[in-house]
Amino acid sequence: MKLLVRNLPRTTTETELQALFTEHGSVQSCSLVMDGETGLSKGFGFVEMPKQGEAKAAMKQLNGREIAGSKIRVKKSEAKAEPDPTAT
């Protein structure tokens, strides 16, 4: 299950984010979204957890948790809609 993590402190590293979620189960992948110009975090990222039960538990436990003065928000990541190539 892919989770969207928002409102992260911009100083958070991928290692710290992964460690936070590893407390609740196995983490398949973890990535922060970075600003292409500055190279700094945009304050959100994605965590993939292979076991749905662990992902749901992590979501419930971590949503609203304060990290370095910021209350993070964790929810299931919605798949991006692909643009319809036949649309005019």
What mean pLDDT, rounded, does the chain reach?
92
Is the pLDDT at 86 greater than 80? The verdict is: no
What is the pTM assigned to this prediction?
Answer: 0.86
Higher pLDDT, 51 or 84: 51
Higher pLDDT, 80 or 29: 29
Per domain, the residue ranges of the chain are 2-76
Domain 2-76: homologous superfamily in CATH:
RRM (RNA recognition motif) domain (3.30.70.330)
Closest CA to 51 of 72, 27, 81: 27
Closest CA to 47 of 81, 77, 83: 77
Q: Residue 30 — pLDDT band, cuts 50, 70, 90?
A: very high
Instruction: Give the three-class secondary structure for 39.
Output: coil
